[in-house]
């Protein structure tokens, strides 16, 4: 059985430790012992990750892309034609290269809330150590 400390699980879910502890108190999962500390079973963590990912709130409903990450714009680097937009989406940093005109049309600025939509035909996986 794979188990994770609550702090590590919270990081993986992009949540605070306190939120994960509240979920445990609400009965969303049973805590397990991980080296003398509170933890969560890997299967429960996977279930919570799916639930959390499938509750996007106000996700755009007109797009065909299923992989959407909600985040805050943390940086915009632009020239006259192109722009690099960085978002912080939970524990992930997402970088998008779009036209400078699109940045203006979308009204993007540091601190804006935005959705990153990811659609790829090639996804590589690595096993975590």
The pLDDT of residue 59 = 54
* CATH at residue 100: 2.40.50.100
Query: Each residue of 87-107: pLDDT tens digit?
Result: 888 777 888 999 999 999 999
Chain centroid to CA 125: how far?
17
Q: Is residue 29 part of a domain?
A: yes
Residues 114 and 71 in one domain: yes
Q: Is residue 96 part of a domain?
A: yes
Q: Is residue 18 part of a domain?
A: yes
Residues 48 and 78 in one domain: no
The pLDDT of residue 79 = 95
The pLDDT of residue 123 = 64
On whether the pTM is more than 0.75, the answer is no
If you write DSSP's letter for every residue of 43-80 in order, what string do you get? HHHHHHHHHHHT--SS--SS----EEEEEEEEEEEE-S
Higher pLDDT among residues 59 and 84, named by residue: 84
Q: Is residue 58 part of a domain?
A: no
Residues 72 and 49 in one domain: no
On the question of pLDDT at 69 being above 70, the answer is: yes
- Provide the number of structural domains found in the chain: 2
Query: Each residue of 11-66: pLDDT tens digit?
Result: 888 888 899 999 999 999 999 999 999 999 988 888 888 777 655 555 555 555 56
Higher pLDDT among residues 125 and 93, named by residue: 93
Q: Is residue 33 part of a domain?
A: yes
Q: How many CB atoms lie within 10 A of CB 76?
A: 16
Residues 76 and 103 in one domain: yes
Q: Is residue 61 part of a domain?
A: no
Higher pLDDT among residues 80 and 111, named by residue: 80
Provide the residue range defining the domain that includes 24: 3-53
């Amino acid at each position: 059985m794979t188990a994770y400390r609550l702090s590590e699980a919270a990081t993986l879910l992009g949540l605070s430790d306190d939120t994960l502890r509240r979920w445990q108190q609400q009965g969303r999962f049973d805590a397990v012992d991980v080296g003398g500390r509170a933890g969560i079973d890997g299967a429960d963590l996977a279930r919570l990750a799916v639930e959390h990912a499938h509750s996007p709130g106000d996700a755009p409903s007109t797009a065909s892309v299923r992989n959407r990450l909600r985040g805050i714009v943390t940086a915009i680097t632009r020239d006259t034609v192109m722009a690099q937009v960085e978002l912080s989406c939970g524990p992930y940093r997402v970088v998008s290269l779009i036209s400078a005109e699109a940045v203006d049309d979308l009204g993007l600025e540091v601190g804006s809330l935005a959705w990153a939509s990811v659609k790829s035909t090639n996804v590589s996986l690595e096993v975590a150590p």
